[in-house]
Structure 1
Amino acid sequence: MSGPTTATCRNCGALLPLALRPRYCPQCGQETALHAPSFWEFVHEFVGHYVALEGTLWRTLALLLLKPGRLTREYFAGRRRRYVLPLRLYLSASFLFFVIVKLFGFGDTRIHFAAGLDAQGRPVTVASSPALAEDLKQAGACLARGDACPLSERLGARLQLQLAKTADAPQAVQQRLGSMAPYTVFLMLPVFAAIVQLAYRRRRMNYGAHVVFSLHMHAFWFIALLAMSLLPAVLTWPLLGLIVVYGLWALQHVYQGRWWATALRALAISVSYALLFVFALLAMVALAVLRS
C-alpha cells in the first residue's frame, strides 16, 4: 500500500506534491521543511533579514562610496535586484554605527551639562559660583509661585534646575541622548528629503524619489561618521571636507544641471538642514534634561 502522494502547506493549505519534493510552497513561498531553528540558524536569519550582509552588499558599498549619486540613479533606472535596497542599506549602516558608537564611544567627544566652564575648563557648579546659586534660588522661587510665574519662566526655571542637578553627573543624560539619537536621525530623514524636494521643485520629481536619495546620503553619512569615530582625530577635517565634496557630487549626478546652480542648492540645503537639525538636537537635549 503506497503512502500519501501530497501534503499541505502549513501556512496557506496549498497542496504540495511529495514526488517533486518542493523546498518552498508555490503559493505563498514558505519553506516546506519546518523545524525549531538552532541558535546559529536564528543568527543567520536575523542577519539576513535585518542587516545587509549578502553578496550584493559589497557591490552596493563600492557604488555608494566611490561613485556619489550613482546608486540612486541605478535605482531610478530600475536596476534594483543588483544592490541592497535603500531602506535596508540605511538601516544596516545606522545599526552598525550606533552599535559601535555605543560600545566604543565617538572619538573624544564628551557632552558637559553644566552651567559653564571656569578658566581651568572645570564645570561651574553651585558650590563654585555664588551667581549661579542666586540664579537657582530665583528659579526655585518662580516654581514655588506656581501659576503666578509665567509659563515661559517656569519652563526655563525647571530646565535650569535640572541642568544644575546633572552638571556633575552627565553620564545619565548622555545615555538618554544616545538612546534617543537613532529616533531623532530617523525622524529628520524625511525632513531632509522635503528640503531637497523644495530645492529641486522644478524637476517635478515625486517625494519618494527624494527619499531614496536621502536614504543613500544618510547611509553614506553614517559610514563616514563611523570612520571618523574609529580613525585618528587628525583625519577629522579631511573627512569632513570629503563629506562636503561627496554631497555636492551626488546632487550633481542625481539631479544634474549646472555646477554653480548645484553648489547654490547644496548650500541652501545644508544651511536649512543644519538649522533644523540643531533645533531638533536642542529640543532633544531639553527633553532629556527635563525628564531626568
Structure 2
Amino acid sequence: MDLSARQCDNCHTSLQGDFCHQCGQEKKSYIRNVSGVVTEFFGEFSNWDTRVWRTLVPLWFRPGFLSRRYVQGHRVPYVPPLRLYLFTSIIAFLLFAQLMPESVGTVNIPKDNAQLAADGITAEQAESISGLLSGINEGVKKQGPTDNDLMFLSDDDKDIFYTKLDAITANPKLAINKFFSLAPQMMFGLLPLFALLLKLLYIRSERYYTEHLIVALHSHSFILQFSVLYLALQALAAVSWPWLVPPIEWLATATLIWIPTYLLLCQKFYYQQSWGKTLLKFWLTSSLYNILFMSAIVGLIILSILWS
C-alpha cells in the first residue's frame, strides 16, 4: 500500500479521514481532467442551490432567525451571511442597471421611488433621496452649488467640479450611471457602520461586534432582495393587463411596508428585549443610520460628478 496516499500532502501527517487534523487540508487532488472539473462544479452548484432555498425562505419571512441560528453555531445548512450579501448585491445592481432608461434629458426623479428601492433603500430613505435629487436638479438649472457647499474641496477640485457640472447639465445620464456604479461600494462601506450602531445601542448585551455584523449582513440582504421585488412588481404593473394592475400595486405596497416591519421585528427577536426598548432603539438606529446614509449619498453625488 502506498503510504503517501494516506498522508497529508501539505504537512505529511498521517490521515484518519479526508481532512488533516493537523493543518486542516483536504486529501483531494485539484489537478484532473475537464470532465471531472465539470462534474464537481455541478455537484457543488446543486448543493449550494439547496442551501440557497433553505436560507431565502427564513430570510424573507422569519426576522432574526438566520442571525440567531448562525451565532448559535448552525451554519452548514445556510449560505454564509457575507456570501449571501455579496451575491445579492451583485444580482440586485445588475438588474437595476438593466432597468435604467437609455436616455435621460434631465435628472429624473424615480417614479414612486421604484428605482431607488432597487438600491437597497427603504421608502423613507427613498423619499429623502428624491428630495435631494430634486434640489440638485433645480440647482443645476440655476447656478449649481455655491462655494460654501463645497468647502471640503480644494480650489482646483472646485474648478474641475464646475466644469464637469456644466457637461452633466447637458447629459445628466453620465453622473447617474456613475452614481449607481459606485452605490454598491457605498452600501458595503455602510455595513460595518450599521453594525457599530447596533454594538453601541446594545452594548450591555455583551455581544461581540461580529454578532451585530451578522445582523447587518442579513438585514441588508433582505432589503436589497425585497427592493428588487418591489421594482419588478412596478415594472410588471406597467406592462400588465388593466385588471391585473390593482393586485400587483397592492402587493408592491405590501412589500414596502414589510421592509421596515421586518427590520423592527428582526431587532426584537434577535436581541430579545422588551417592546419599549426595541422601539426606542429601532428609532435611534434608523435615525442615526439615515444621517450616515444621506451624508454618504451627498458625497457619492459629488464623486459621481467629479468622476463622470
Fold shared per TM-score above 0.5: yes
Task: Pick which of 210-219 and 150-159 moved more.
Answer: 150-159
Which TM-score applies when normalising by structure 1?
Answer: 0.73
Query: Which residue pairs with 2:273 in the alignment?
Result: 257
**Alpha-carbon offset, residue 52 of structure 1:** 8.9
Query: Which residue pairs with 1:279 in the alignment?
Result: 295
Query: Which residue pairs with 1:12 in the alignment?
Result: 10
For structure 2, the residue ranges without an aligned partner over 5 or more in a row are: 102-109, 117-129, 236-248
Q: Letter of the 2:161 partner, please give it.
A: L
Bigger RCO of structures 1 and 2 (CA < 8 A, at least 6 apart): 2
Instruction: Quote the sequence identity (%).
Output: 25
**Alpha-carbon offset, residue 40 of structure 1:** 8.4
Q: Equivalents in 2 of 1:40, 1:165: separation in Å?
A: 50
State whether structure 2 residue 205 is matched by structure 1 residue 203: yes
**Alpha-carbon offset, residue 274 of structure 1:** 0.9
Cα distance change, pair 70–32 in 1 and its aligned pair in 2 (3 A): same
Specify which of 48, 54, 60 is matched with residue 55 of structure 2. Answer: 60
**Alpha-carbon offset, residue 14 of structure 1:** 4.9
Q: Letter of the 2:266 partner, please give it.
A: A
Q: Letter of the 2:206 partner, please give it.
A: R
Q: Letter of the 2:299 partner, please give it.
A: A
**Alpha-carbon offset, residue 34 of structure 1:** 2.4
**Alpha-carbon offset, residue 216 of structure 1:** 0.8
Task: Pick which of 236-245 and 68-77 moved more.
Answer: 236-245
Which TM-score applies when normalising by structure 2?
Answer: 0.70
Structure with bigger helix share is 2
Q: Deviations over 1:60-99 (max 9, x none)?
A: 1111111100111111221111211111111121122122
Q: Letter of the 2:294 partner, please give it.
A: V
Query: Which residue pairs with 1:221 in the alignment?
Result: 223
Q: Deviations over 1:179-211 (max 9, x none)?
A: 211111111000000011111111111111100
Q: Equivalents in 2 of 1:165, 1:205: separation in Å?
A: 50
Query: Which residue pairs with 2:80 in the alignment?
Result: 85
Q: Letter of the 1:210 partner, please give it.
A: H
Structure 1 SS opposite 2:296: helix
Answer whether contact 1:114 1:166 (CA < 8 A) is retained: no
Structure 2 SS opposite 1:245: helix
Structure 1 SS opposite 2:170: coil
Cα distance change, pair 33–244 in 1 and its aligned pair in 2 (3 A): closer
Cα distance change, pair 150–76 in 1 and its aligned pair in 2 (3 A): closer
For structure 1, the residue ranges without an aligned partner over 5 or more in a row are: 125-130, 140-148
Q: Deviations over 1:80-139 (max 9, x none)?
A: 112111111111211221222222349754997996359xxxx83xxxxxx64xx79x98
* Higher gyration radius (CA): 1
Q: Letter of the 1:280 partner, please give it.
A: A
Query: Which residue pairs with 2:193 in the alignment?
Result: 191
Task: Pick which of 63-72 and 104-113 moved more.
Answer: 104-113
Answer whether contact 2:198 2:285 (CA < 8 A) is retained: yes
Q: Equivalents in 2 of 1:43, 1:178: separation in Å?
A: 36
Specify which of 221, 225, 232 is matched with residue 230 of structure 1. Answer: 232
State whether structure 2 residue 261 is matched by structure 1 residue 245: yes
**Alpha-carbon offset, residue 174 of structure 1:** 2.2
Specify which of 175, 178, 191 is matched with residue 176 of structure 1. Answer: 178
**Alpha-carbon offset, residue 221 of structure 1:** 0.8
Cα distance change, pair 52–89 in 1 and its aligned pair in 2 (3 A): farther
Q: Equivalents in 1 of 2:274, 2:13: separation in Å?
A: 60
Q: Give me the CA root mean square deviation.
A: 3.9
Q: Equivalents in 1 of 2:153, 2:301: separation in Å?
A: 20
Answer whether contact 1:199 1:265 (CA < 8 A) is retained: yes
Answer whether contact 1:52 1:89 (CA < 8 A) is retained: no
Answer whether contact 2:85 2:218 (CA < 8 A) is retained: yes
Query: Which residue pairs with 1:144 in the alignment?
Result: none
Q: Letter of the 2:170 partner, please give it.
A: D
